[in-house]
Amino acid sequence: MYPVLYENGWLVLYTHDFFTVVGLLAALALYYYELRKRNMLGFEIFWISIAAVVGGSLGARLIVVLDNPAAYFSNLGSMPLSYFLTHSGKGIIGGIVGGYLAIALTKRLFKYKHSTGDCYAPAIPLGMAIGRVGCFFSELPLGTPTDMPWGISVSQQAASQFAVCPGCSGKMHPSMVYEIIFHLAAFALILRYRNLVRVQGDTLKLYLLAAVVFRFLVEYVRGSREYAFGFTSAQVALLILTVPLVIHFVRQWRRGVYRMPEPPVARASPGRREPVMPTRLVRDKEAGLP
Amino acid sequence: MSIDLTAIIEYIRQNRQTYTREAITSQLVTAGYNPADVEAAWGSVDVGVPAPPSGYAGTTGLSGGNWDSGSPEQPRSQRLVSSPAFWGYMVGFILLSYILPGGLFWLGASNSDGLIVNIAIGMFILLQLGALVAGVVSLSRNRPRGVGLMTGVLMTLVVLPICAFTIFFGMCLASLGALGPSF
pLDDT in tens, A155-193: 777 777 666 666 777 888 888 899 999 999 999 999 999
Using a CB–CB cutoff of 8 Å, tell me whether B129 touches chain A. Answer: no
Interchain pair B20, A197: CB under 8 A: yes
In B, residues 48-87, which contact A (CB 8 Å cutoff)? 54-55, 64, 67, 75, 77-78, 80-82
Burial of A10 (0-12, 13-18, 19+ CB in 10 A): exposed
> How high is the mean pLDDT of chain A?
82
pLDDT in tens, A255-267: 999 998 888 877 6
- Does residue A53 surpass a pLDDT of 80? yes
Sign of CA dihedral B114, B119, B120, B121: positive
| Residues in chain B within 8 Å Cβ distance of A222 | 174
Question: Which of A6-15, A110-119, B93-102 is predicted most confidently?
Answer: B93-102
CB A77 within 8 A of CB B158: no
Helix/strand/coil percent split, chain B, to 5 = 70, 5, 25
Q: Tell me the shortest Cα–Cα distance from B58 to chain A, in angstroms.
A: 12
- Does residue A277 surpass a pLDDT of 90? no
pLDDT at B164: 80
Question: Which of A8-12, A75-79, B14-18, B48-52 is predicted most confidently?
Answer: B14-18
pLDDT at A197: 92
The secondary element (H helix, E strand) that includes residue B29 is: helix B21-30
| Residues in chain B within 8 Å Cβ distance of A221 | none
**Measured between alpha carbons, how far is B130 from A163 in angstroms, rounded to an integer?**
51
Classify A71 as helix, strand or coil: helix
> Which parts of chain B register pLDDT below 50?
1, 49-70, 177-183
Question: How many A×B Cβ pairs under 8 Å?
Answer: 194
Q: Tell me the shortest Cα–Cα distance from B25 to chain A, in angstroms.
A: 10
Q: Mutation test of the interface with chain A: which of B54, B147, B166, choosing the one with the most A Cβ atoms within 10 A?
A: B166
| Amino acid letter for position B145 | R
Q: For residue B182, what is the DSSP state? A: -
Sign of CA dihedral A216, A222, A224, A228: positive
Q: Nearest-CA neighbor of A267 among B3, B111, B70, B85?
A: B3
Neighbours of A39 (CB within 10 A): 18
- pTM of this prediction exceeds 0.80: no
Interchain pair A141, B178: CB under 8 A: yes
| Amino acid letter for position A136 | F
* Closest Cβ–Cβ partner in A41, A83, A277 for B78: A41
CA angle A201, A245, A217 (to 5 degrees): 115
* Interface predicted TM-score (ipTM): 0.70
CB B94 within 8 A of CB B155: yes
| Amino acid letter for position A204 | L
pLDDT in tens, A201-224: 999 999 999 999 999 999 898 877
Instruction: Give the percent of chain A with pLDDT over 70.
Output: 84
Interchain pair A39, B22: CB under 8 A: no
pLDDT at B179: 43
- A67-to-A59, A72, A183, A227, B59 alpha-carbon distances in Å: 12, 10, 24, 8, 58
> Please, where are the H alpha helices in A68-148?
69-73, 81-87, 92-110, 117-120, 123-137
pLDDT in tens, A136-155: 887 666 788 888 888 888 77
Q: A271 pLDDT band (50/70/90 cuts)?
A: very low
pLDDT mean over A264-288: 55
Interchain pair A164, B177: CB under 8 A: yes
Interchain pair A85, B163: CB under 8 A: no
| Residues in chain A within 8 Å Cβ distance of B64 | 39
Collect all residues with Cβ–Cβ distance below 8 Å to A124 and sequence separation of at least 6.
A27, A96, A204, A207
Q: A62 pLDDT band (50/70/90 cuts)?
A: confident
**Measured between alpha carbons, how far is A205 from A195 in angstroms, rounded to an integer?**
15
CB A121 within 8 A of CB A194: yes
* Closest Cβ–Cβ partner in B31, B67, B176 for A39: B67
pLDDT mean over A125-134: 93
pLDDT at A23: 93
Classify B30 as helix, strand or coil: helix
Interchain pair A262, B80: CB under 8 A: no
Classify B63 as helix, strand or coil: coil
**Measured between alpha carbons, how far is B167 from A61 in angstroms, rounded to an integer?**
9
pLDDT at A202: 93
CB A180 within 8 A of CB A136: yes
